[in-house]
Amino acid sequence: MKRVMLLSVFAFSTIITLAQNVNWVERNGALKVVGGKILNRKNIEPQLRGISLSWSIWGGKKYYNQDVVNWLKSDFNINLLRVSMAVQPDNGYLQDPIGQEKLITETIDAAIKRNLYVLIDWHDHHADEHLDQSKMFFAKMAKRYAGKPNIIYEIFNEPEKIAWQTVKDYAVQVIAEIRKYDAENVIVVGSPHWDQDIDVVAKDPIKGFSNIAYSFHFYASEPSHQEVLMRRADNAISAGLPIFVTEWGVGEANGDGVFDTSKTNKWFSWMEKNKLSWANWNITDKKETTALLMPGASLKGRWKPEMLSPAGKYIRTKLRNLNK
């Protein structure tokens, strides 16, 4: 009996190890948008699932390193990493373009080395006010990563109280800049009202470019992010709009608040049913509901269970079970 149990444990461990060594980019190849869906080279929805690093300043900055990327791949079993480059706050890209570019490209390169997909996120609520800087940045990224199927460009994180036409006008110019150097890789465009008015976007999507998707964000325990918000997204999906959940959290919209597992499970099931790719917010050790780490967690990964927050344990379990 002991021998049988040992063999079973060994077999299970082997399955987990093999799953965590998957070359996700080799499996799926370059992504594309066809018929309102994000597809892989086999015309199948790959459903990428992963984690978002926090703002590349403040406390989240210290987790932008190769050790953390390696741990997220080998232990959390991510196949997608979101690199959230801060733009407007102090020490962000507007003030320190050289430092921020170096930090994120080193992290992106580490993720590419581990065969992960990477969202390059212009983490800005007012990107329309920084069009020239955005065009310059994404031109550099497109020149550097053209031909790398790992790369996904996220060009406007959470537009605030801005009309869709304003976001669209900005996006068309940035997309055109990227397409000068990278004709194929998927570009994700932000949606108005913190990426919630996805139904508005569905009525007037961008035309004239291929492989364009749109971001949708929610916080699973936020009272205002329940049936009404889910219905907006359902309407957009029904209208044929390709959606990417580039950010979501288990808590409330401020990143803190309640972790309602019932509401979170409902949202999670909704993403799975619709085969939506997603990145969970976020890798930081801030004392906050959506932070995946406990205060003082190692800067090099290798986090023991007690170093994971309730959100961290929940997300880690989901990723290890689903990314196979």
Which one of 158, 177, 252, 288 is the catalytic residue?
A: 158
pLDDT of residue 16: 47
pLDDT of residue 21: 79
Closest to 315 (Cα-Cα) out of 20, 46, 15, 51: 51
Distances (CA, A) of 107 to 51, 61, 147, 272: 13, 11, 18, 28
Domain boundaries, the chain: 2-322
Residues with Cβ within 8 Å of 194's Cβ and at least 6 positions away in sequence, in order, are 158, 159, 160, 217, 253
158 is catalytic: yes
Residues with Cβ within 8 Å of 184's Cβ and at least 6 positions away in sequence, in order, are 30, 32, 210, 211
Here the tokens at position 14 are: 């082997």
* The residue to which tokens 């801030």 are assigned: 286
The string of pLDDT tens digits covering residues 40-97 is 999 999 999 999 999 999 999 999 999 999 999 999 999 999 999 999 999 999 999 9
* pTM summary value: 0.94
Here the tokens at position 275 are: 């085969």
247 is catalytic: yes
pLDDT of residue 14: 41
Is the bond preceding 282 in cis, omega lying within 30 degrees of 0? yes
Distances (CA, A) of 141 to 137, 147, 216: 6, 11, 23
Angstrom distance (rounded) from CA 320 to CA 299 = 21
* Below-70 pLDDT ranges, the chain: 1-20
Coil, helix or strand at residue 302: coil
pLDDT of residue 11: 40
Which one of 222, 247, 252, 288 is the catalytic residue?
A: 247
pLDDT of residue 178: 98
* The residue to which tokens 């068309």 are assigned: 172
CATH no., domain 2-322: 3.20.20.80
